[in-house]
Amino acid sequence: MNCEVCHLKELEVEHFEIREVVRCILHTIIFHRALGLVRPKEIDLELFEITYVQCGDLEVEKKIEEKIEQFIGWVEKHPNKKSQICLSFYEVKNKQVSWFSKQMERIYWEHWHINLNVAQQPKVHSVKSHNSKVVDTGENTLEERSIRRASLEASLRDVLFQIIRFVNDKKEHVPPIPSREGVISFPYEITIPSSSDSAFGMDMIKRMLQTGHPTMLS
Amino acid sequence: MDQIVSQFLLKSLHIILDSRIPSLHPNDQRSDRHTSVSRARKNDKWFNLVLGDRPAALENLNFWHRNLMDPMIIDIILVHEGPNSSSVDAYSAIKASVETVIERWVVHYESPRVTPNINDSSLHKKIYKKLIILLRSLYSQMRLLPAYRIFRQLSSSGQTYNLNLIYKVSTFSNPFSRAEEEMMREYVFAPVEASSGRFSVAVSYRKTLSDFNLEAATSMFPRIITDYVGSPATDPLRSFPSFDKGVCATSFPLRGVGSPSSAPFQRPHSWTSGFHRPAPFTQGHSLGGSPPTYCAYGSPSPPTDMCSQRAQSYRSTSQRLNSYEEYQLSPPFSPSPSPSPPTYFSSGSVGRSRGWSETAPMTIPHPTASGNARYLSPNFSDPNRHSLPPLSPRHTRLDPSSQESASGIRSFRKPESLRSGELHSHSVNQKVTKDGRDDSGRFSGLLSSSGSPRIGFSRSSSRLSFPDDLDDGDFSCPFDVDDVDPPLVSDGREGSEFTSTSLPMGAKSQDAAVGILVDMLRRAPPLQQDSSCYSAQSLNTEQDGGVATASGFFMPRKTTDALEELRSYRDMKNLLLSKSGAHVLRKDEA
């Protein structure tokens, strides 16, 4: 089956907004892919006037929070970089490698790429400037900030619409729901850029290893 | 496959209404919704989306949506005050309420031809899976559209607003006008193809809702009319302006007041939650009681939520002012379970659920108050009041905030269970008021049927307003206010006018109020149980025990109950007199 990839619109976020934005997006995607019995949970964002839906599963919440923490840690080490969080859904298949061994293989059928551009926190030079200047920059910053905030809110809403549209348009590739209990019907993983600089490259290699020719692994 | 289709329709309707209509689930339920999945009801597990209690309205979907192939069009309507709203003059004209369709959802299972059901289970599984995804995205989308903001604000507790959201479900709809269309944006969910048809969901929504200002309604503080004097000089036989909207009648059913049948309207398959102009209510007659759908907001506070929507539209500060003033007339009334507005007071959720309509027990004083305020010119004279008795719930609607402040008549706490009871009571009412008698008839059915947990007093009072003949009650009124002419009951809309009672001029306001009350009681139809009223019940087979008990409850009450009522009235009178006596004393001393 084919693997669908969705690249979400890039969002410019400030450091303190990362958590909420990423949480919102990840949960929304998972809500549409957790096809087990779900009792939806509505969450209002604090920073924006947006309400999104969580699937209500505690495991999922925990996993997402962990990943967000890791991501924030990474961002702090690599400031001012465009980053990407990848949420992937896969199927696990047993593949007969050779006549005596089997191998678990992950077959990815969907990738979501969340593109973020974390804006660096503006350094405050107020100590040196004159008072008036400080006030000016202060006001400007505030105004800029609110403009940016508004545009981020609109962009986030667009991203959510994008997710919904993608979810609706592409339904064929979704594998049949495995008959297991629980909210999450399909295993998933969240990939954040790793510490190395060639983060994206490493991810690609990893993925290739997992889905590629089994002989590579042995 | 058919089951999938019908469940899909139900589920989508549930999703849409849940996130747009505030009155369906009052606040206190929201927190309860996130309980463990394991407690989900079996029916709720369809499409793996647990939504919580299904509004009773949904139960009746099967009745009206006969043909599964018809599109289900759900209009979300915002009721707000029109631009020509008048000033806060107590006697000003009614504020026009305008209804604007802010969202129109079309859920349709299109089947080009009738194909035999192909029971291919793997196909079904695929379709089911896709529908799950579709519904999930519908659920998310509901929260992203602009109307959700308004819904959240309206649902928040405590405040009452000048807007209200109601819905209308039908199988066809008026297309939008050009101007309206320009303001709408459309979104179509990708359809799910099935072998025998196609599921499609689409929405046209208003791009921006900033035109509607959501303001918290000012709470009306009751004012005491110190110099109220009932004036016999006013024309006692003044008739109400006819309700050209015809809606009046329709509104009743919602409330359960049964107006019902006179509300003719309608479009064959459509029902709405609120006051909708063409009043497309499916009449109870035809559906054997399914109309209750509209009012099915099964919120815990019974009648209040019933047609809450309706109530909202007619909110006008002036009216409220009026109504309260009239209430205030008799402060001593408050403690006693007077049949009036107290009904509202009782429900705690009144404030919250904006849509509370007057509850059944709204009895006598009730009509006088608000009804008069609205339609009659500034004269609080009793004769007019009398004439407005069972009035349209509209009139008698009291602002929740004012109610709460007005009195502590909390006697009628209706148990939550009446949700369905109310629903059914609507249907009962509809039957009851079949004869087209709107006024007095209005309260009867519903009031009676829904009243089981009510205090005896209220129950009886509600019964007083039975639609039937308004001959003098079996009981003799303990308050011999004056000689009472046999009430002139005009047919149809003219509101049953009670002949004027000449209240003693210059009587103290409290006495006057008592007199009015008494008079109304006297004129109210006797406490006869009209068996025909209850015949409707038999139609509602799906009604739960609520209605059944309610109706059964009333049957046995006869003269003994009337006597009891009388006694209570007498006690009330004595109480009032004693209080007023004390009041007089105090005044003298002051």
Banded pLDDT at B100 (limits 50, 70, 90)? confident
Summarised one tens digit per residue, pLDDT across range B306-324 is 443 444 444 444 444 444 4
A40: nearest CB among B49, B144, B190: B49
* Binary contact (B129, A176; C-beta < 8 A): yes
Q: Provide the 8-state DSSP code for B92.
A: P
Task: From chain B, pick out residues whose CB is under 8 angstroms from the CB of A180.
Answer: none
How many CB atoms lie under 10 A from the CB of residue A1?
11
CA atoms within a 13 Å half-sphere pointing along the CA-CB vector of B479: 27
Query: Which of B38, B143, B205, B214 is most worth mutating to test chain A (most A CB atoms within 10 A of its CB)?
Result: B143
Q: What is the pLDDT of residue B99?
A: 78
How far are the Cα atoms of A90, B13, B14, B20, B40 from residue B142, in angstroms, in the given order?
A: 29, 12, 12, 8, 22
Q: What is the pLDDT of residue A194?
A: 65
* Binary contact (B35, A39; C-beta < 8 A): yes
Does residue B513 contact residue B333 with C-beta atoms inside 8 Å?
yes
* Binary contact (B141, A164; C-beta < 8 A): yes
Task: From chain B, pick out residues whose CB is under 8 angstroms from the CB of A160.
Answer: 140, 144
For residue B19, the chain A residue with the least C-alpha distance is A42
Is A109 in a helix, a strand, or coil? strand
Summarised one tens digit per residue, pLDDT across range A102-113 is 777 888 888 889
B387 or B176, higher pLDDT: B176
Q: Tokens 């209570």, residue?
A: B568
Banded pLDDT at B113 (limits 50, 70, 90)? low
Banded pLDDT at B24 (limits 50, 70, 90)? low
* Binary contact (A40, B134; C-beta < 8 A): no
Distance from CA of A28 to the nearest CA of B (A): 8
Q: Provide the 8-state DSSP code for B372.
A: I
* pLDDT over 80 at B103, yes or no: yes
* Binary contact (B136, A167; C-beta < 8 A): yes
Distance from CA of A36 to the nearest CA of B (A): 6
Task: From chain A, pick out residues whose CB is under 8 angstroms from the CB of B50.
Answer: 37-40
For residue B52, the chain A residue with the least C-alpha distance is A39
Does residue B527 contact residue B464 with C-beta atoms inside 8 Å?
yes
B140: nearest CB among A31, A36, A56: A31
Banded pLDDT at B375 (limits 50, 70, 90)? very low
Banded pLDDT at B223 (limits 50, 70, 90)? low
Assigned token pair, B542:
């799906």
In percent, the amount of chain B with pLDDT more than 70 equals: 31
B208 or B303, higher pLDDT: B208
The span from the CA of B473 to the CA of B466, in Å, is 11
Does residue B110 contact residue B173 with C-beta atoms inside 8 Å?
no
Q: What is the ipTM of this complex?
A: 0.80
The span from the CA of A64 to the CA of A83, in Å, is 17
Transcribe B23-79 into DSSP letters: GGS-HHHHGGGS--GGG--GGGGGGGB---SPPHHHHTHHHH---TTS-EEEEEEEE
* pLDDT over 70 at B300, yes or no: no
Summarised one tens digit per residue, pLDDT across range A54-88 is 888 888 889 889 988 888 888 888 877 788 888 88
A49: nearest CB among B49, B137, B149: B149
Mean pLDDT of the B160-186 span:
76
The span from the CA of B153 to the CA of B22, in Å, is 9
In percent, the amount of chain B with pLDDT more than 90 equals: 1
* Binary contact (B189, A168; C-beta < 8 A): yes
Summarised one tens digit per residue, pLDDT across range B31-66 is 444 444 445 566 677 777 777 776 666 666 655 556
Query: Which of B136, B156, B201 is most worth mutating to test chain A (most A CB atoms within 10 A of its CB)?
Result: B136
Q: What is the pLDDT of residue B405?
A: 41
Q: What is the pLDDT of residue B63?
A: 57
A171: nearest CB among B133, B139, B140: B133
Q: Which residues of B222-260 are buried (b: 16+ CB within 10 A; e: fewer)?
A: beebeebbbbbebebebebeebebbbbbbbbbbbbbbbb
Amino acid (one-letter) located at A26: L
Q: What is the pLDDT of residue B221?
A: 54
**Torsion angles phi and psi, residue B90, rounded to 5:** -60, -30
| Of the listed ranges A10-24, B173-187, B232-246, the one predicted with least confidence | B232-246
Distance from CA of A193 to the nearest CA of B (A): 28
Distance from CA of B45 to the nearest CA of A (A): 7
Distance from CA of A38 to the nearest CA of B (A): 5
For residue B200, the chain A residue with the least C-alpha distance is A168
The span from the CA of B521 to the CA of B487, in Å, is 11
Summarised one tens digit per residue, pLDDT across range B436-459 is 444 443 444 344 444 344 443 444
A161: nearest CB among B34, B125, B144: B144
Q: What is the pLDDT of residue B528?
A: 53
Query: Which of B137, B149, B186, B207 is most worth mutating to test chain A (most A CB atoms within 10 A of its CB)?
Result: B137
* Binary contact (B144, A164; C-beta < 8 A): yes
Query: Which of A37, A174, A183 is most worth mutating to test chain B (most B CB atoms within 10 A of its CB)?
Result: A37
Summarised one tens digit per residue, pLDDT across range A26-59 is 999 988 888 888 888 888 888 888 888 888 888 8
Summarised one tens digit per residue, pLDDT across range B459-498 is 444 444 444 444 444 444 444 444 444 444 344 444 334 4
Q: What is the pLDDT of residue B344?
A: 38
Strand pairing report for A41-44 and A51-54? antiparallel
Mean pLDDT of the A197-212 span:
56
Q: What is the pLDDT of residue B42?
A: 67
* pLDDT over 50 at B432, yes or no: no
Task: From chain B, pick out residues whose CB is under 8 angstroms from the CB of A39.
Answer: 33-37, 40, 50
For residue A31, the chain B residue with the least C-alpha distance is B136
* Binary contact (B49, A161; C-beta < 8 A): no
* Binary contact (A40, B190; C-beta < 8 A): no
Mean pLDDT of the A123-147 span:
61
Question: pTM here?
Answer: 0.52
B261 or B577, higher pLDDT: B577
* Binary contact (B137, A164; C-beta < 8 A): yes
B143: nearest CB among A53, A176, A183: A53
Under CATH, what is the fold of the domain A4-212?
Cell Cycle, Spindle Assembly Checkpoint Protein; Chain A (3.30.900)
CA–centroid distance for B182 within its chain: 33
Distance from CA of A122 to the nearest CA of B (A): 32
Distance from CA of B311 to the nearest CA of A (A): 29
Q: What is the pLDDT of residue A143?
A: 87
In what helix (H) or strand (E) does residue A85 lie, and over which residues does it extend?
Answer: strand A82-98
* Binary contact (B192, A41; C-beta < 8 A): no
Mean pLDDT of the B325-347 span:
41
Query: Which of A25, A27, A39, A153 is most worth mutating to test chain B (most B CB atoms within 10 A of its CB)?
Result: A39
* Binary contact (A52, B143; C-beta < 8 A): yes
Summarised one tens digit per residue, pLDDT across range A137-171 is 566 788 888 888 888 889 998 999 999 988 888 88
Summarised one tens digit per residue, pLDDT across range B536-589 is 444 444 444 444 444 444 555 678 888 898 999 999 999 998 888 766 665 555
Mean pLDDT of the B249-259 span:
37
